[in-house]
Copies of this chain bind each other. A is one copy, B any other.
């Protein structure tokens, strides 16, 4: 580790990671946008094509993840610590995974209704993905980390809002939903959405680690 740090002073860093990070974040924005369109459709039949579109976009994300990992294994000098590149890529992948998982659950469970909190948390996920995209775009310029930091604060605030909505929705379900199968469906879809916002917060955490180390 010590030796790596000495090297870093003299050897130019490989900067070609950035286009891959940006592509990954852009794809995440696309996934969250497809999900938002799908969940806001009134007619369940119109939702059907979105399930496979979201799944396909999630596979595109997997491919980008693999490209970054392969590059990491072959690159000697990285723009920031290897473990942070690994965590950043994995956590972005996790957000995409949970959005796709929520989509698959809606497809398979065919719930009779959505709760209002589901639509609100979906909007929050979409906003959090936009902030991730914005922050990733600033990673090239670590000397000026203020914008990344602002995005991280935003993402944390989104996670808190989603958490409150999730708790309220679960409490309502257990109070009012009398059909246990419908309760299971809605509860599990809500859980997956809430986990997507948790993972967005994990992205913010690793971005913060990256700017602290670069300070």
A residues in contact (CB < 8 Å) with B: 1-4, 7, 69-70, 73-74, 76, 82, 104, 107-110, 167, 170-171, 174-175, 180-181, 183-185, 187, 209, 212-213
Enumerate chain B residues within 8 angstroms of A2, measured Cβ to Cβ. Answer: 3-4, 7, 76
Known: A108-B174, A180-B184. 19 other contacts (CB 8 A): A1-B1, A1-B4, A2-B3, A2-B76, A3-B3, A69-B209, A73-B209, A104-B167, A108-B170, A108-B171, A109-B170, A110-B171, A110-B175, A174-B185, A180-B180, A180-B181, A183-B184, A184-B184, A184-B187
Report the Cα distance A46→B175, complex, angstroms: 20
Chain A residues touching B, majority SS:
helix
Enumerate chain B residues within 8 angstroms of A69, measured Cβ to Cβ. Answer: 209
| Complex partner residue of A109 from B174, B180, B213, CB under 8 angstroms | B174
5 shortest interchain CB distances as A-B pairs: A180-B180, A108-B171, A108-B170, A180-B181, A73-B213
Enumerate chain B residues within 8 angstroms of A174, measured Cβ to Cβ. Answer: 108-110, 181, 185
Enumerate chain B residues within 8 angstroms of A108, measured Cβ to Cβ. Answer: 167, 170-171, 174
Enumerate chain B residues within 8 angstroms of A109, measured Cβ to Cβ. Answer: 170, 174
Task: Looking at the assembled complex, report how far the CB atom of A206 sits from the nearest CB atom of chain B, in whole angstroms.
Answer: 11
